[in-house]
Amino acid sequence: MNRSLDHTTSLRIAIQKSGRLTDKTIDLLHGIGIEFDNYKRNLMVKTRNFDVELLLLRDDDIPEYVQDGVCDLGFVGANEVFEKNTQVTVLRGLNYGNCRLAVASPKDSTLLNPSDFEGKKIATSYPYLTKRFFEKLGVTIEMVEISGAVEITPQLHVADAISDLVSTGGTLKANGLVERFTILESETKLIQTQQALSEGKQQLIQKFLQRIDGYQTAKKSRYILMNAPLDSVETIKTLLPSMKSPTIMPLAETEMVAIHSVIPFDQFWDVMEQLQDAGASDIVMLPIESMIA
Ligand code: PRP
Ligand code: ZN
């Protein structure tokens, strides 16, 4: 596409260069129609069809870049947003990259509950959140700040326990550690700078958000099609958990209709059995790319 873009209004978006959020963030951006490539090699990528520049950064740095207005928007874990205690606006919770900041101790340890940690050493890359958590409970801990490979510290007797991100739990298990309690539940957030933005950028952000919302709604929904006898239509309508009324089309075969609707994915299997009981057949479920109300 050869449309010339006004780069004074280019929206700058920070995403994680490589890590748990990268692939899904790239999928989301492609999913809302933003075209770009070479993101693995470059730190800054211009998109072809949307007035957007992507900056590929370490996730730890994203909240501050957005806070300072170097980037207008950022996709980053809540863990980083809250650890850095940054002044940014959280626009959306995106329900991917889910993980938690949790305290873990060796499997034979007697350190189980927060109160057991009085005077103990905890290694972490999340000093702010960890300290605040124990302070609120009136428990004094000794903090060992480490920037990586935190899970190895108990074996090295550098710390008694750790406070670190847990997703699958594989890393803890591999290091003989057991998760004891959660400090923070995290997911990917879309954040915006609180610095003043031009009218053009604000409009672009609105457009961007509308596309993200459409994409998110679509992800949670499925298009459902079925055939049914005419006399079961009223029952089927009451079973379909859709907000809008379904589309009903006559079939060549008399006394039969095709019913189309959009339903929440998490209800599909329950509903399908009830639909069958009500006389529906040839039930098909399809994914939806995007959905604008
Ligand atoms: C976290 C954490 C563990 C791992 C846990 O690191 O420090 O190493 O993920 O995941 P698991 O429970 O699925 O094994 P992360 O990938 O966030 O890397 P980073 O801290 O370097 O950004
Ligand atoms: Zn990180």
Burial 66-98 (b: 16+ CB within 10 A, else e): bbeebbbbbbbbbbbbbbbebebeebeebebbe
Helix spans in 84-225 (H): 127-136, 170-174, 199-220
In this prediction, residue 243 carries a pLDDT of: 67
| Residue-wise pLDDT tens digits, 2-55 | 444 444 579 999 999 999 999 999 999 999 999 998 878 889 999 988 899 999
Tell me the pLDDT tens digit for each residue of 147-164: 999 999 999 999 999 999
Burial class of 275 by CB neighbour count within 10 A (0 to 12, 13 to 18, 19+): buried
| Average pLDDT of the residues in 217-241 | 92
Each residue of 179-195: pLDDT tens digit?
999 999 999 999 999 99
Ligand whose nearest atom lies closest to the CA of 104: 1
The closest of 158, 191, 194, 208 to 79, measured between CA atoms, is 191
Q: How many helices (H) and strands (E) does the chain have?
A: 8, 15
**Cα separation of 88 and 81, whole Å?**
8
Cβ–Cβ under 8 Å, residues 211 and 119: no
- φ and ψ at residue 189, rounded to 5 degrees: -115, 145
Domains of the chain, start order: 11-97+188-218 (3.40.190.10), 99-186 (3.40.190.10), 221-286 (3.30.70.120)
* Residues 89/194, Cβ–Cβ less than 8 Å: yes
Largest CA distance in the chain: 79
Is there a contact between 262 and 242 (Cβ–Cβ < 8 Å)?
yes
For ligand 1, atom 8, name the residue with the nearest CA: 171
The atom of ligand 1 lying closest to the CA of 165 is 2
Question: The tokens of 77 are what?
Answer: 């874990």
Q: Alpha-carbon distance 215 to 98, whole Å?
A: 18
| Distance of CA 12 from the midpoint of ligand 1 (Å) | 26
Ligand 1 contacts CB of residue 61 (under 6 A): no
Residue to mutate (ligand 1; options 23, 57, 61, 171; most atoms within 8 A of CB)? 171
CB of 147 shorter than 6 A to ligand 1: no
Between the CA of 62 and the centroid of ligand 2 the distance, in Å, is: 10
- The mean pLDDT of 206-210, rounded to a whole number, is 95
Q: What is the pLDDT of residues 250-292, one digit of tens each?
A: 998 779 999 999 999 888 888 999 999 999 999 999 999 888 8
Model pLDDT, residue 2: 40
- Averaged over 81-103, what is the pLDDT? 96
Ligand 1 contact, 171 CB (< 6 A): yes
Q: Which DSSP letter does residue 252 get?
A: S
Out of 15, 96, 162, 165, mutate this one to test ligand 1's pocket (max ligand atoms within 8 Å of CB): namely 165
Is 167 a pocket residue for ligand 1 (Cβ < 6 Å)? Answer: yes
Residue 58 Cβ inside 6 Å of ligand 1? The answer reads no
Chain position carrying tokens 């999340």: 126
Report, in this order, helix, strand and coil percent for the chain, each rounded to 5.
30, 30, 40
Interval between CA 163 and ligand 1 midpoint (Å): 11
> What is the chain's mean pLDDT, rounded?
93
CA distances from 284 to 137, 217, 227, 252, 269 (A): 53, 19, 9, 19, 12
What pLDDT sits at residue 253?
76
